[in-house]
Structures are given as structure tokens and as C-alpha cells.
Amino acid sequence: MTNPEDVILPVNPVDKHIPMIAAAIQSWHKENNPAKLTKTIHEKLDKSASEVLLKVMGFNKNWHSEWEVDHCNGRNGASEAGDYLKQVVKPAVDEWMAKVHDITLTEKETKQLMDSIRKRYVQEIENRLRYAVQVAAQKHINALVEEFVQSNHIEAYGKLTKLINQEG
């Protein structure tokens, strides 16, 4: 029987790069502290506030860079800033909608609207079904990858994460 202490594990070629990777990550953390990142985020939000607000309100730029109603409303403006602006914008839009007079739809308009809703409903089912299949496939792929991963790669990853997580 072989003594476990006598077993020599192969040297992983990644090992020699781990200190350099860890140093680079630590350097990046020092240069990109929370105050600096917050300032950058504020600058970007200030620069694009009008565009984000218009997208959250349901507008999109067309091919001519003109703003128009986004017929696929909801695909743009989904973000932390968008969520906040939606909370602020909703009361203003509700107030405006309350001032708009009731609109009476003709029978033809009602039918067109219902047809459009049915079509959109089927599209949503298809989209969500595709997404559910993607999620299931990804879980299966992850399980297969775990099955084929070699232990020396896991050991190298462990060493890397230990070095990265070390302070200063």
C-alpha cells in the first residue's frame, strides 16, 4: 500500500501565475474603491438621465435617432436606476392619465386589441418556455462539467481564491 505522504502531485502550470493575478486584483480593488466607483456611477447617471427616463417611460430611439413609443416596452431601462425612476415616474403618469378623457373603442378597434393581446400572450408563453429550457439545459451542462473536472484544477482554483481573498 502506498503511503499518502509519498505521493507527488503534478505541479499545475497555473500555480506560478497565481501571485501575479492576486496582486493585480488587489491593486484594482485599491484603485477602484467604493467612493471612486460611486462617483463614476453618479457621473454616468447624470450624463444619461434624460435617456434613461425616456426609456423607462416607454420610449425608444428609432433608426433616425428620434424618440418614439417603444412597441416592445419593457426591454429597455431595466436597471437599478430604471427601477427607481419607475417609482418616481408612475405617480406623474397616473396623474396625467387621470386627466385624459375616457376613450371609447369601436368594435373593430376592440377586436384588433384583443387579437394583439392574444398574439402577445402566445409570444410570452413561447419566450418563457424557451427560457425554462435554457435554464434546465444549463443545469445539466453544469452537472456534466462537474463530473469531468480534474482534481488538480480544483486545487489550483482553491489556491487562487485563497490568494485573492487575502488582505493587503
Question: In the chain, what are the domain boundaries?
Answer: 32-100, 103-168
C-alpha grid cell, residue 154: 480544483
Average pLDDT, integer, range 37-63: 77
* pLDDT value at residue 80: 60
> What does the DSSP 8-state code read for residue 84?
H
Q: Are the beta carbons of 68 and 59 closer than 8 angstroms?
A: yes
pTM above 0.85?
Answer: no
More confident residue, 87 or 80: 87
Element (H, E) at 61: strand 59-61
Helices (H), the chain: 18-31, 34-56, 80-99, 107-148, 151-164
